[in-house]
A and B are shown apart, each in its own frame.
Chain A
């Protein structure tokens, strides 16, 4: 809805311009407030805990940013990291999405150049809230292109608070999505702007913004598939225009080139199936553009002739090309798609073929309540928004609807993709709310103006007759009003009904030249429904603030719990990493499950065997096998990897449920995927996973059990595991190949050291003496004999 300038513009230009200017200032002020809101709602974790980096992945990004700030960009671009994935190492320059790191690095550099001494950690912690404020401004711009300023402000305000976005961008959550969502919305805005204006300048900016998105997040494939889908939709629904060509064709060329520039993507930009859709639509668009051009040149009869000629020849060529392409793609086992994309298209793919992807909790499908938790009120404002987009349907609004539909599908596959749904839902809800307020305020204005024009005798529902000061469209509105009064909504009607009434009104009414058509809901109904909508917004705000404060502000590295004595803080993770960094050598290798890899390298500064990047399945399977094997076999595996320390996380004493015993079955599955002697049924008793007296002997003898429950019985005498809820099976045992070096305050992290090999073996002295000559000769031959056997 545009500003109501048309009414005032006709009589005198000066009040119109002043109103326009005032509207602009108000709009800018509101946007600033929305930015402040988006920033401050994400600060709960800083207030409740401290300014610390959360979770696991942000620690890796933080370490990379530290390296960048210390060594400069050329070192960062060529960095080969040997402190992780020992002994393989990892090429950081080629496998990381550099957008987030470069953004935070440049902010740090710029701020320090101005002599404001912010540390790298502070910049990293607060990057996400800053970019969420900028993202809400981008949402305002995008929605303004589709429906106008009011809808834009509404959508921006909603996005500033939506819990789904807050969950991935609190202060401290220094992850790719923090800047990627801004890049996503801004790229879409520039695409829609190019589509609306047809300017090549915006097309260039669009390509550059797409480049920033490719740098930031692997989810860029969503953009490069959604935009071609929209172009195809426009062509198929007959909305082809030259602006469409200008919006799409330069984007494909420039975008592919820019995507190939980023080392992570490289040649995948032209070789993988994720990008084929864009090339296919590129070709289709050129064919359609050529057809339209020829149509413009020829007369209709000749054009028909040309079409028949071309179709017969062209179809044969087309089939040949398509056949070749299909054969090429079908020859590869995954049909050219990467594993992650395949798991999105076929939700059952990951659980069958790639257990690592299936084991991540973020990759599970969401439950119904999580929709309500994450987008709350928007879940039922979105359908109203979809309807509002169809009245009238423009290129921009069709794009919104398409974006929402695809985002809903993908959010149903993986819960972490609810984040992509959030901006779409906010935009459509903003459109819906804005249209609703539009109707209601206009009907209130009309009713009030009628009330004051016709005198106190006529009520809001009465039919107008003989009022000289009424509007031009009195007669048409009279018909509408009688219809309206028959179909008049009662006070407590749903919003969807109201939207339908507006449709009826629009289909009947005639648009006057001078004044906008005013809707004619009864006055009381309008006032009450406005109040109800405001109350709805109030509920939304309350929920968002609650979700931000209670649900999504936990840093995961520090845990708290409330008891009778007050707040209890569990800082065991940092305690363990600090112990490691102070009490071990710099070159010591630490083995743990891959969850803790990033945190160990970032905070303890020690080399790890596997970390959260999970790029090498066999290496992870090796660690998983070691954790599932008995002590001797595990010692041998770890010794072959030069491991000195083993770290396990155990929550049985305090009731921390995400510990290694609960994750153990995944270790067995992943290890068993590569090493067939690890079989999952060996660890289950009658298909049930238990660690009490009923557990299988394989389970009670494996390394993970022993490392977690060593001396656990000394805590309460009975060995009662608070997470599992029963007493453990094997209570009194000694470790033969490992020794315990550190256990944190609440027993949450336990660190063990590999015992060195014995110099001599007791009881085998006589046998060895006779064999010593043989042994020395075999040793001289170069074959290493394992002293443990």
Chain B
């Protein structure tokens, strides 16, 4: 229906405009998240073609991608200046936490990869 299509276009335009206003560092983090999710999808597609043996490798690789995406989203939440709850948190501390959590995640992944 033309009204819906027009509405959808208007929606996308306003979304694009609002998103363009976000600061660059947040956009970089968003790009990283998109990359991680894309890698996860590629791996799932590969599993669909090749089969899921050995299952622990598949599980660890997919969860590593999703985990990196989730942690990046957490970093973005903490670094975002519009977020009232985290205005006292220095971004260096947020990044340090992000690095630590990633370290633990990848240690576990490497143990589980087999």
Contact = CB atoms under 8 A, between A and B. Distances in A.
Given A250-B71, A250-B74, A258-B108, A200 B101 contact: yes
B15 A203 contact: no
B74 A309 contact: no
B78 A299 contact: no
A322 interface: no
A297 B19 contact: yes
Measured as residues with beta carbon below 8 angstroms from the partner, the interface class of chain A is 20 to 34
A254 B71 CA distance: 10
A270 B85 contact: no
Interface string B10-47: 11001100110000000000000000000000000000
Contacts of A203: 74, 101
Contacts of A204: 97, 100-101, 104
Contact of A305 (B11, B56, B59): B11
Interface in A273-332: 289, 294, 296-299, 302, 305-306, 309
A111 to B, nearest CB: 28
Interface string B70-114: 110111011000110110010000100110110011001101100
A199 interface: yes
Nearest to B82: A296
Nearest to A266: B56
Interface stretch (A222-230, A241-249, A364-372, A686-694): A241-249
Given A253-B63, A254-B104, A260-B59, A245 B14 contact: no
A267 interface: yes
Nearest to A199: B97
B104 A208 contact: yes
A448 B78 CA distance: 48
Nearest to B77: A242
Contact of A261 (B83, B86, B111): B111
Contacts of B55: 267
Interface string B42-67: 00000000000001100110010011
Given A200-B94, A253-B70, A297-B15, A305 B7 contact: yes
Given A267-B59, A302-B10, A257 B78 contact: no
A749 interface: no
A298 B85 contact: no
- From A208, A243, A260, name the one whose CB has the most chain B CB atoms within 10 angstroms: A260
B74 A261 contact: no
Interface of B: 4, 7-8, 10-11, 14-15, 18-19, 55-56, 59-60, 63, 66-67, 70-71, 73-75, 77-78, 82-83, 85-86, 89, 94, 97-98, 100-101, 104-105, 108-109, 111-112
30 contacts: A198-B78, A198-B85, A198-B86, A199-B89, A200-B78, A200-B98, A201-B100, A201-B101, A204-B97, A242-B86, A243-B85, A245-B73, A246-B77, A249-B70, A250-B71, A250-B101, A253-B105, A254-B108, A257-B59, A257-B112, A260-B112, A261-B111, A270-B59, A294-B15, A296-B82, A297-B15, A298-B14, A305-B11, A309-B7, A309-B11
Given A200-B78, A250-B74, A267-B55, 18 more contacts: A198-B86, A204-B97, A204-B104, A241-B85, A242-B77, A242-B85, A243-B85, A254-B67, A254-B108, A257-B112, A258-B108, A261-B111, A267-B56, A267-B59, A289-B73, A297-B19, A302-B11, A305-B10
Interface of A: 198-201, 203-204, 207-208, 241-243, 245-246, 249-250, 253-254, 256-258, 260-261, 267, 270, 289, 294, 296-299, 302, 305-306, 309
